[in-house]
C-alpha cells in the first residue's frame, strides 16, 4: 500500500485567534478570575470596575450539572447600582474546549447591548479552560 502525502504540507496549527495560553494571562485573568472556576461545572463571573479600574463588585453564578448558567436579575442590579463603569464577563467550559458556542456569542452580544444602554462598557468576555482562555476582545468579536 502506498501512502500519498499532500502536495502542500499542512501549515503548523496556529492557536485560534483570541486564545491566550495560561503563561500569557494577565493578572486579572490569572489571579482574580481563574481561581473561581471548578473543573466539573460551569461557573459565570461578572467583574465590575469603577472608572479608575478598581474592582467594585464580583458576582458569581454557579451552573448546574447540565452546564448552563443563568444570570439572575439580582446580579445585574448589584452591578448596575454599584458605580460600575466597565464589566468583564467570564465563564469556564468544563469540556476544555475554549471555542465559544453560538449561545456564548449571542449572550455576549446581548450583554454588551444591555450594558451599553446603562452607560457601562463590556470590556471582554473570557472563556476559561485548563490551558488558557479565549478572549472575545482579542478575537475581535466584541
| Structural domain count of the chain | 1
Measured CA to CA in angstroms, residue 90 lies from 3, 25, 44, 61, 134 at distances of: 46, 14, 6, 10, 10
Spatial contact of 83 and 54, defined as CB atoms under 8 Å apart: no
Give a yes or no: residue 50 inside a domain: no
**Which structural domain, as residue segments, surrounds residue 32?**
24-44+55-135
Measured CA to CA in angstroms, residue 32 lies from 12, 46, 64, 88, 142 at distances of: 33, 11, 22, 11, 21
**For residue range 100-127, what is the model confidence (pLDDT) as tens digits?**
999 899 989 999 999 999 999 999 999 9
Give a yes or no: residue 86 inside a domain: yes
Spatial contact of 29 and 124, defined as CB atoms under 8 Å apart: no
**For residue range 19-67, what is the model confidence (pLDDT) as tens digits?**
999 999 999 999 999 999 988 888 999 999 999 999 999 999 876 555 5
Give a yes or no: residue 7 inside a domain: no
Spatial contact of 108 and 142, defined as CB atoms under 8 Å apart: yes
pLDDT value of residue 10: 41
Give a yes or no: residue 69 inside a domain: yes
d(CA 4, CA 23): 38
Give a yes or no: residue 19 inside a domain: no
Give a yes or no: residue 39 inside a domain: yes
H-helix or E-strand spanning residue 103: helix 102-117
Spatial contact of 56 and 49, defined as CB atoms under 8 Å apart: yes
pLDDT value of residue 69: 64
Give a yes or no: residue 113 inside a domain: yes
Domain holding 84: CATH number?
3.40.140.10
Amino acid at each position: 500500500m502506498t501512502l500519498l502525502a499532500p502536495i502542500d504540507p499542512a501549515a503548523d496549527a496556529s492557536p485560534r485567534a483570541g486564545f491566550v495560553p495560561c503563561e500569557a494571562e494577565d493578572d486579572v485573568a490569572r489571579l482574580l478570575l481563574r481561581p473561581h472556576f471548578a473543573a466539573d461545572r460551569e461557573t459565570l463571573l461578572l467583574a465590575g470596575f469603577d472608572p479608575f479600574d478598581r474592582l467594585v463588585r464580583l458576582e458569581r453564578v454557579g451552573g448546574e450539572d447540565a452546564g448552563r448558567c443563568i444570570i439572575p436579575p439580582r446580579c445585574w442590579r448589584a452591578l448596575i447600582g454599584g458605580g460600575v463603569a466597565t464589566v468583564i464577563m467570564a465563564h469556564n467550559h468544563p469540556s476544555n474546549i475554549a471555542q465559544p458556542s453560538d449561545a456564548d456569542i449571542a449572550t455576549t452580544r446581548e450583554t454588551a447591548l444591555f450594558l451599553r444602554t446603562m452607560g457601562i462598557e463590556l470590556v471582554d468576555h473570557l472563556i476559561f479552560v485548563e490551558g488558557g482562555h479565549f478572549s472575545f476582545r482579542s478575537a475581535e468579536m466584541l
